[in-house]
Amino acid sequence: MSAVTVTGPSRSPALVALERVQSLLLPALLIGEVIVFALLSSRFLSADNLVNVAVNAADIALIAAGLTVVVLMGGIDVSTGYAVGLISWFLATLMSSGTPGALTLIVALIGGALLGLLNGLLTARLSIPSIVATLGTSALFQTALFALWNRRDVFSGPVLPFLSGSERAAGVPLMLLVVLVVYAALHLVLVGTRVGRSVFAIGSNVEAARLAGIDVRRVRLLGSLVLGLLVGLAACTYLARVGVVQASSGGELSLLAIASVVVGGTSILGGEGSVLRTLGGVVFIALLENGIVLAGVPSLWNGLLVGCVILLAVGVNGAVVLLRRRSGVAE
Amino acid sequence: MSAPTDRPEDGTPTPELTPTLELRGVDKSFGAIQVLHGVNLKVYPGQVTALVGDNGAGKSTLIKSIAGIHSIDAGEILFEGRPVSVSGPRDAAALGIEIVYQDLALADNLDVVQNMFLGRERKNGFVLDEVSMEEAARDTLSKLSVRTLKSVRQLVSSLSGGQRQTVAIAKAVLWESKLVVLDEPTAALGVAQTRQVLDLVRRLADTGHAVVFISHNMVDVFEIADRVAALYLGRMAADIPISEVNRSQVIELITAGRSGTIGIAPAEAAAVEV
């Protein structure tokens, strides 16, 4: 029996270099950021400030974790911010009418699951591109919030103490532990279970996944459901952080969550990435927001920096994919 | 799995041999257009059956019907002598039918082991059993004398066309498939890689698999096929041992539906062309 030895396709030096840039982008950005802000403000690296950053980043962290699952399957969700706003209006209204916190938390989870399923049904069942479907639902959520708000700000305390920054064990906010547990659980499911493997297969090659007998629609729906549940949980931590629901509450979170995912290095085209990378992305985005304020820079520049970093991360990812195709590696 | 079968010189199977797959009078239409007309086909274990036909002759529709992606309108599909209904890739896989599609249906961002087990991962409780999957993948590849992969943990995106084809075929073997359908496996390959894949296909038949080999390349067909089945405008023009025809006859069967006394009757052929 003969076995012909065939070597794999050669990878061009440019591709190898660019792949290195891609994997080192997040660590480099993080280190650069910490050095610059530490020089600009002595308070930046204090324990108090860092705990503060972690507490304030909880809602973005929770959304970004769920969003990673959707992005890994080649999808996107731009409606998460107003979904958080809409749910928090209901939570604040319930809390101010004396509803027990535990019951309010359940409402948050159910509400999040319903909004997630709506997005999931539009994208997975009706095969509407997720960017279009979630733009539509985002406008829907925003308008619903505006109508419900009706020029009346709703004030509320935290839904449950452990979902605010105040309850701590040995100085560590319990909320931070909730976030870390969510990340650990999602990570284990993604790398260690059959459904996790399906997520990567769908993002990598939908047709292959379908032919392998994977129920693509069901896995997509499941992804949207997980994101929805985390959006519901994020609404609780958001409410604990800001304490009031207004006409456009939550809107800013959509972009920050997407930024965290792509800066973390999860490919916007799907199939490649991890929630742990997203956690790194969240840390970067949260430190950026905080550092800019401490350095006394007008918050206008915050959006500029976030935008540039998104474009940088997506640009590097796109260039890698392009070069891989050109060198015939992905043929 | 059936025992390795002797390959009679003339390509005619021994009389008692049951075809692994038999199609009887299969019809398939898409709307008003009938794509398959009463197609009969027999595929035997231990043999390579070359399925040939021009573009649009119905080859893809035929294999998608076997795979359960298209449901058939009329006729029967028999698997190892028993009538079966295949209504999806999972059904086909459960019977032991593995289709290696032209575009290969591999996930680039997954490694060789992950691709070979995609959709059918081994579990240890809830958790994937990576160790046993990796072992099984390595065993299968060595059984097929595949020595071209550096590592079974390589990402598929880093493999060459021939290596990817090898992985797709090895997947079929791993799953102890009885019938392997290969859709133009050498179409995109260079000379050395084509050699490698043809050897692998032959080994597949020699280990008792029934193989359907779709190809436009007559050199490849005459090199490894035991039987040839020619589709002409949705009709099976011939399903015969390859020893009974030569290359120009096969080309006539592909382009005109008949060649001398072989093929669909002249009247029918004329009717088809109108």
Q: Which residues pair with B51 in a beta bridge?
A: B214, B229
User: How far is Cα A142 from Cα A137, in angstroms, rounded to an integer?
Assistant: 8
Q: Is A204 on the interface with B (CB under 8 A)?
A: yes
Q: Which chain B residues are Cβ-neighbours of A8 within 8 angstroms?
A: 150, 154, 158-160, 163
Q: Is B125 on the interface with A (CB under 8 A)?
A: no
Total domains in chain B come to 1
Q: Is B7 on the interface with A (CB under 8 A)?
A: no
Answer positive or negative: Cα dihedral of A324, A325, A326, A328: positive
Q: Measuring CA to CA, which residue among B116, B120, B121, B123 is closest to residue B144?
A: B116
State pTM to two decimals: 0.85
Q: In the CATH hierarchy, which fold is given to the domain comprising A14-327?
A: ABC transporter involved in vitamin B12 uptake, BtuC (1.10.3470)
Find the mean pLDDT for residues B124-149. 88
The amino acid present at B121, given as its one-letter code, is E
Q: What is the DSSP string of A125-149?
A: IS---HHHHHHHHHHHHHHHHHHHH
Q: Is B106 on the interface with A (CB under 8 A)?
A: yes
Domain annotation covers residue B186: yes
* Cα angle, residue A276 at apex, residues A158 and A213 outer, rounded to 5°: 105
Q: Which chain B residues are Cβ-neighbours of A214 within 8 angstroms?
A: 118-119
- Tokens 């708000």 belong to which residue? A149
Query: Is A6 within 8 Å of B193 when comparing Cβ atoms?
Result: yes
Q: Which chain A residues are Cβ-neighbours of B114 within 8 angstroms?
A: 197, 200-201
Q: Is A48 on the interface with B (CB under 8 A)?
A: no
Domain annotation covers residue B2: no
Q: Which chain B residues are Cβ-neighbours of A268 within 8 angstroms?
A: none
Distance from CA of A2 to the nearest CA of B (A): 8
Domain annotation covers residue B269: yes
CATH number of the domain to which B269 belongs: 3.40.50.300
Q: What is the pLDDT of residues A131-173, one digit of tens each?
A: 999 999 999 999 999 999 999 999 998 988 888 888 888 888 9
* Cα angle, residue B9 at apex, residues B5 and B12 outer, rounded to 5°: 70
Q: What is the DSSP string of B196-260?
A: HHHHHHHHHHHTT-EEEEE-S-HHHHHHH-SEEEEEETTEEEEEEEGGG--HHHHHHHHHHSEET
Q: At what angle do helices A275-294 and A58-72 cross, to 10 degrees?
A: 140
Q: Is B151 on the interface with A (CB under 8 A)?
A: no
Max Cα–Cα distance, chain B, nearest Å? 63
Q: What tokens appear for A32 in the block?
A: 């650069």
User: How far is Cα B46 from Cα B201, in angstroms, rounded to an integer?
Assistant: 11
Q: Is B194 on the interface with A (CB under 8 A)?
A: no
Domain annotation covers residue B1: no
Size of interface A-B (CB pairs under 8 A): 112
How far is Cα of residue B168 from the mean position of the Cα atoms in its chain? 12
B68 three-class SS? coil
Quick check: B100 and B187 in contact, CB under 8 A? no
User: How far is Cα A131 from Cα A163, in angstroms, rounded to an integer?
Assistant: 30
User: How far is Cα A89 from Cα A111, in angstroms, rounded to an integer?
Assistant: 11
Query: Is A213 within 8 Å of B123 when comparing Cβ atoms?
Result: no
Q: Which chain B residues are Cβ-neighbours of A9 within 8 angstroms?
A: 158-160
List the single best residue of A10, A197, A199, A211 to mutate versus B (max B Cβ within 10 A): A211
- The alpha carbons of chain B give a radius of gyration, in whole angstroms, of 19
Query: Is B110 within 8 Å of A200 when comparing Cβ atoms?
Result: yes
The pLDDT tens digits along chain A (331 residues) read 334 344 445 567 888 888 888 888 999 999 999 999 999 999 999 999 999 999 999 999 999 999 999 999 999 999 999 999 999 999 999 999 999 999 999 999 999 999 999 999 999 888 899 999 999 999 999 999 999 999 999 999 898 888 888 888 888 899 999 999 999 999 999 999 999 999 999 999 998 998 888 999 999 999 999 999 999 999 999 999 999 999 999 999 999 999 999 999 999 999 999 999 999 999 999 999 999 999 988 878 888 888 898 899 889 988 888 887 776 544 3
User: How far is Cα B259 from Cα A320, in angstroms, rounded to an integer?
Assistant: 53
Query: Is A329 within 8 Å of B157 when comparing Cβ atoms?
Result: yes
Instruction: Out of B110, B161, B196, name the one closest to residue A204 (CB).
Output: B110
Q: Measuring CA to CA, which residue among A145, A146, A123 is closest to residue A135?
A: A123
Alpha helix ranges (H) inside chain A: 13-40, 47-56, 58-72, 80-96, 101-120, 130-149, 174-192, 194-204, 206-211, 216-242, 253-264, 275-294, 300-326
Question: Residue B40's domain spans which residues?
Answer: 21-108+178-273
Domain annotation covers residue B189: yes
